[in-house]
Structure 1
């Protein structure tokens, strides 16, 4: 597993993602730390001008869901506001760090579009570290690693006042070129099993070819290939985002967590290959929509920047 100081080429990106759902099913969260923020309109503008320093476009995206309301923050910061080392990534007043085998995220952010304080700490304790890597495109320019697919997560927030624990997940992605240069669409899902996680990737590349796979990863980090389930259509969102799921069994939507012109995040209830029911985070991404100039003009309202 590479550290937070891993090199990121000009125009490229690296992110560290985690999600979690409370044991009672009432609360959830996603957190993403970015070097070279892939959806940043400021980074896209810098790439067009030929001066795309990924360390000048970093952000910590935090989303809280469930009882007490939905909170979202994603403030982009320049290179003078960040610091990276093997075990530590500082982004303005917030940070991600490894501490005695535990991934700790210290959060001190301001929400958008309605400003409010988002302050707290999230701790993710892996059952094992998984070194498996998958090339997501045929040229090997985009890589995914399920770092800690089966973990315990604890969230303690001062603002809003909130405390819960549950099942967590952590992975990392990195690439040499922007996502929109390689992909037309991207669907990902992660189902939390009692003994690990089931993960599905389903992508369409710019050349029209596809890349899809399904994995089962145990609590010990062992990885097994699964048969790729059949394609099942999902309802479109308010923004008319088309969605689908790869599923061998019927599933149902629990909540639409995020809905934007080019991206949606959904909480599903699914059946895994062992017949058990599981909660699953599901993401649909349209890079063709993301490239639309109108969408690019809308992004700063959700992603403010502090230079």
Structure 2
């Protein structure tokens, strides 16, 4: 029987020293270009929003989109997805050569052609344009930038592989102007921005992971639950941040979070079992909160194998590297407990995701 390979969230003084970061203090350069296009790396800047009228807008900048096969080298891309309240869907992707891409290591300042994503951990401006679609987004944070410890998750007995994550704007105010086919719409709502990067295929180190975020009344929350691959002993990485009126009140998920999945269903596209309800129960002995996500609709469904060339598909099947990405919308509920009694309960729309091997 093979011994499981080491995996850990970077949380020791040695980890902070190695990275040049500080506990509970985030600097603008941390949202700058972290991988610098090094071979075998990937990186992306993510923005999503729930608008007041029920629409959702997601824009993602990739310095290298190949999270499953980062060894392919830089392939910058920007994706745009707008789902309007009346059921219309607009999606677009812009791919350009690496010569059209630029980014700063001092702060978030990424450009691909005429598209850009820039900001300073509090205020961001995002621009997308391709063909008949053009969008301008202004995001201002209501919750300070945050990360779980260093934000790095290490894999390998020498911690040589990593996946890193920085929620630069856990929740903020959004104003967006979107022009499609000559018609301009203006939106306001709540938004989120995070930054992800790594140096190894995510599918080779993780079995599956959830991520979600929501603004629910006076509460803002980020939730995630990562399960490592079999060779890492299916290691668990619980992640939780809860803020109230913009002040973080709970984020020690390793010690105080209980996670569970409820209401299973069989997905018609893959035949796999997924769950309609996710529950994050946080109880530190002084305060007890529960965040529950209830699925209503899948607004994006991507099977990794469908994005690959035919030879790569064959290899992916052989080495069990096929995976699925699903973005859900539904309702998030935050409950506050006094003992066993719920003393407050609020519900609002939310976006969350699942990435899983098949």
TM-score by length of 1: 0.78
Aligned to 2:348: 278
Q: Are 1:257 and 1:265, in contact at CA under 8 Å, matched by a contact in 2? A: yes
Secondary structure of the residue aligned to 1:272 is strand
Partner of 1:268: 330
Deviations, residues 37-90 of structure 1 (Å, cap 9, x unaligned): 1347xxx3x72xxxx44xx31111111112261111223322111111234211
- When structure 1 is superposed on structure 2, of 252-261 and 92-101 the one drifting more is 92-101
Alpha-carbon contact 1:150-1:219 (below 8 Å) kept: no
1:97-127 Cα offsets, whole Å, 9 max, x none, are 22895211111125xxxxxx22121111112
Cα distance change on mapping 1:95 and 1:252 into 2, 3 Å:
same
Q: CA deviation at 1:251?
A: 5.0
Would the aligned equivalents of 2:241 and 2:250 in 1 still touch at CA under 8 Å? Answer: yes
Q: Does 1:210 align with 2:239?
A: no
- The whole-number CA distance in structure 2 between the counterparts of 1:230 and 1:72 is 33
Aligned with 1:235: secondary structure? strand
CA contact (8 A) 1:155 1:165 kept: yes
- Is 2:267 aligned against 1:243? no
Shift of 1:234: 4.2
1:65 aligns with 2:83: yes
Note if contact 1:57-1:79 (Cα within 8 Å) is conserved in structure 2.
yes
Superposed displacement of residue 278, structure 1: 2.3
Corresponding position: 1:10 with 2:39: yes
1:223–1:72: structure 2 CA closer, same or farther, 3 Å change rule? farther
2:139 corresponds in structure 1 to 124
Secondary structure of the 2:99 match is helix
Give unmatched runs, 5+ long, in structure 1.
Answer: 111-116, 290-307
The alignment covers a number of residue pairs equal to: 271
* Aligned partners of 1:187 and 1:201 also within 8 Å: yes
5+ residue gaps, structure 2: 1-27, 280-289, 304-323, 337-344
User: 1:259, CA displacement in angstroms?
Assistant: 2.0
Q: Which has the larger radius of gyration?
A: 2
Cα 1:236–1:91, aligned 2, differ >3 Å: closer, same or farther? farther
Q: Secondary structure of 2:88's match?
A: coil
Structure 2-normalised TM-score? Answer: 0.68
Deviations 1:262-294 (A, max 9, x none): 1111112121133211222111112x34xxxxx
Question: How far 1:209 sits from its partner (Å)?
Answer: 2.6
Pick aligned residue for 1:135 from 146, 152, 155: 152
The offset of 1:137, in angstroms, is: 4.9
Structure 1 residue 20 displacement after superposition: 0.7
Query: Using CA pairs below 8 Å that are at least 6 residues apart, which structure has the higher relative contact order?
Result: 1
Output the aligned Cα RMSD: 2.6
Give 2:248's aligned residue.
222
SS of the counterpart of 1:230?
A: strand
Which among 193, 197, 200 is matched to residue 177 of structure 1? Answer: 200
| 2:62 corresponds to which of 34, 37, 51 | 34
Cα distance in 1, alignment partners of residues 111 and 292 from structure 2: 42
Q: Mean alpha-carbon deviation: is it higher for 224-233 or for 168-177?
A: 224-233
1:232 to 262, 266, 289: 262
- Of 171, 174, 181, which aligns to 1:150? 171
Aligned to 2:124: 103
CA deviations on 1:123-150 (whole Å, 9 max, x unpaired) are: 1111243142433455471122221112
Partner Cα distance (1:203, 1:264) in 2: 15
